[in-house]
Amino acid sequence: MPWRPYDELEEFPTLGYLVADWMTSFLLRPDTPDVQPFVPTQEQIDFLVDLYEIDPETCKRVKHRAVLSRPRGWGKSPFVAAIACVEGMGPVLCDGWDASGQPVGIPWSERRTPLVQVTATTDDQTANTWDPLLEMLRGSPAQDEYGVDAMDTFVSLRRGRIETRTSSATAIKGARAVAAIMDQTETWLPSNGGQKLAKTLRNNATKLGGVTIETPNAYTIGENSVAETTARFHEQVKLGRVKKEAARTILYDHRGAPLDTDISERKSLIHGLRVAYGDSSGDPHGCLIHDPPCSPGWVDVERTADDFWNPDSDPAEMCADFLNQISSASDAWLTQPEVRAIADDGKSIGTNEPITLGFDGSEGRKIGIADSTVLIGYSITQHHLFKIGIWSQPDGPKGEGWQPPRLEIEQTVDQWFKTHNIVGFYADPSAGWAGDVKAWEAKYSRRLKAKISTGEPIRWPQRNVSNTCEAFADLLAAIQQHQVTYDGDPQLTAHFLNARKVHRRAGYVLDKPADDKDYSKIDAAWGSMFAYKAGLDAVGKGAAKQARRRKPRRLY
């Protein structure tokens, strides 16, 4: 029998309600003096309904990857601990349809031996989820029903196990985990192996049709954390840049306070906290997101609001932790709202419109991670920046001894000069590209309107720090005043958000984050500045003016 919805409001089949009932029947509520069943809130049930969506055609689970982002104290850790338990024992797989046309749930153990992993980059992080998980199981109905032996370091099931892992990605490669809880992924950075660990966990889950679930707090933009890269992937999904088949496999559930929350005004702050905390907010009049009202939660938002005004509280840290507002580093060149505000992927570049180019080269590196080589374009009539090419070192063994594909890059530059109206080209020749820049100057200087100097029309003068500082300030002002747009390319976006201000006497230049010099890339921010500055100079030379048609001579 095919799926048949209960009513018109049911959009898809799901095992989420069965899962919620299983949690209440077999698990205990942690951190309570007396024995109580674990009862998910309505907000948590909504997440389960989406997480355990079933394809009505194939009877398979739809979601392969999930994110649950809430402020500190919302209850993420106990909730995902309950999910880890149900993945090990409960009805999480579809085994057809019942007489009412609803999915029938069975545990993983009826198909294979389940392994569930609670993962983080440190032991302290795994304890956030592991400690409540043990409380949920010890003395619970699940202990007898499923032969649970909840030990300090792992949980033995009648068939399968639940364990914690903080080891390196290579140590867990190939583990047949049906589910992985990835806690506090805002702290999973390239520098501590977090990105590699996340990739390995996802690959393991893919082999078995399993799931990974991230539980981050608000991340800091530009740190290149797992939470940030997942958020960028979700942005691409929202923009329609990911195939529908892949887009429907991710569940991204983030709730933060409204951006206009004023932490200096108590009423606005309390409202922002209630929105961010939802069912856990302890609202005496019922929560803000459900009707009928839910029962009061456990977070004292009045007390939390008071702590915002402690003299030693960091406002940015408090907004990230308790309002769940994604923040930028204090020295960030651009914030995410600023970048998002100028994204426009609907513009096309004509062959006749005046274009300027910006180039920043990299030589490659035998040891470590090389910088990227970038070629950025700028339409001076549409005021629009766009990626032409960003060549970066691949991850893993493929990247060992990597060098930028010099021939491909040279051909790309030549092709754009052949097919487009290039009126300016500024380039940084450092890292082994000085000879190429000289060749481009000899070949193309005559057609350029914008020139750095007569002798070196393309080569950017890095020693002229004041000129560089002024150019970055000009581009930042144009971005903040919405005088320019860009194509929304995710690589270009990442480079913008990674860039940090390094102050000089004349202003500032851009550099990588101090604690992540290897993995964070900012080269496209420099390339964009070169292209934009060339555009300004080209406009000053009349490149934006329409060419006048000469009247034909009259013959007598």
HEC string for 240-290: CCCCHHHHCCEEEEECCCCCCCCCCCHHHHHHHHHHHHHHHHCCCCCCCCC
Q: Tell me the CA distances in angstroms from 51 to 9, 181, 286, 408, one per residue in order.
A: 17, 13, 25, 44
Nearest to 317 by CA among 412, 184, 180, 218: 218
Q: Where are the domains of the chain?
A: 16-254, 257-328, 336-540
CATH of 16-254, one of 3.40.50.300, 2.40.10.480, 3.90.79.10, 3.30.70.100: 3.40.50.300
The answer to whether 519 and 348 are in contact (CB under 8 A) is no
Place of tokens 């942005």: 235
Q: Tell me the CA distances in angstroms from 92 to 83, 105, 114, 210, one per residue in order.
A: 10, 6, 11, 10
pLDDT at position 131: 95
pLDDT at position 549: 46
DSSP H or E segment with residue 221:
strand 220-221
The answer to whether 214 and 223 are in contact (CB under 8 A) is no
Q: How many residues are given for the chain?
A: 556
d(CA 202, CA 102): 29
pLDDT at position 173: 65
16-254 and 336-540 share one CATH topology? no
The answer to whether 277 and 323 are in contact (CB under 8 A) is no
Greatest CA separation for the chain: 110
Place of tokens 């799931």: 211
CATH of 336-540, one of 3.10.450.50, 3.90.660.10, 3.30.420.240, 3.40.190.10: 3.30.420.240
d(CA 14, CA 54): 5
pLDDT at position 368: 62
DSSP 192: G
Distance of alpha carbon 240 from its chain centroid, rounded? 16
| pLDDT tens digits, 531-541 | 999 999 999 99
pLDDT at position 291: 40
Indicate the pTM of the whole model: 0.71
The answer for 46, left when phi > 0, alpha when psi is -120 to 50, beta otherwise, is: alpha
Question: Which residues of the chain carry a pLDDT beneath 50?
Answer: 284-294, 547-550, 555-556
The answer to whether 274 and 267 are in contact (CB under 8 A) is no
d(CA 371, CA 358): 16
